[in-house]
Structure 1
Amino acid sequence: MPRIENSIVIEADAGHVFDVTNDIARWSEIFDEYSNAKVVSQEREGRWSEIVFELTNAEGASWRSWRILDHRELVAVAERRDPLYPFRYMHLRWTYQQVPEGTLMTWVQDFELDEKFEVPLETVLERMNVHTRHNQAGIKRKIESGAVRP
Structure 2
Amino acid sequence: MPRIENSIVIGADPRLVFDVTNDIARWSEIFDEYSHAKVLSEERDGRWTEIVFELTNEEGAGWRSWRILDHRELVAVAERRDPLYPFAYMHLRWSYQEVPEGTLMTWIQDFELDDRFEVPLATVLERMNTHTRHNQAGIKQKIESGAVRP
TM range (shorter): over 0.9
1-structure distance, mates of 2:101, 2:148: 19
Q: Which amino acid aligns with 1:124?
A: V
CA distance in 2, matches of 1:127, 1:57: 16
Q: State the alpha-carbon separation in 1 of the partners of residues 46 and 29 from structure 2.
A: 28
Aligned length: 150
Per the alignment, residue 21 of structure 1 pairs with 21
Alignment of 1:1-150 (within 5 A): 1-150=1-150
Deviation at 1:42, TM superposition (A): 0.2
Query: Sequence identity, in percent?
Result: 87
Amino acid at match of 1:58: E
Q: CA deviation at 1:136?
A: 0.1
Q: What amino acid sits opposite 1:85 in the alignment? A: Y
**Counterpart-to-counterpart distance in 2, 1:101 and 1:145:** 15
| Residue identity opposite 1:63 in structure 2 | W
Over 4 Å off, 4+ runs: none
Q: CA offset at residue 66 of structure 1?
A: 0.0
Distance in 2, matches of 1:69 and 1:56, equals 21
State the TM-score, normalized to the length of structure 1. 1.00
5+ unaligned residues in a row in structure 2: which ranges?
Answer: none
Question: In structure 2, how many angstroms separate the alpha carbons of the residues matched to 1:119 and 1:81?
Answer: 21
Counterpart Cα distance in 2 of 1:133 and 1:120? 20
In the alignment, the residues of structure 2 paired with residue 39 and residue 4 of structure 1 have an alpha-carbon distance, to the nearest angstrom, of 26
Deviations 1:19-64 (A, max 9, x none): 0000000000000000000000000000100000000000000000
How far off its partner does 1:94 sit?
A: 0.1
Any gaps of 5 or more consecutive residues in structure 1? none
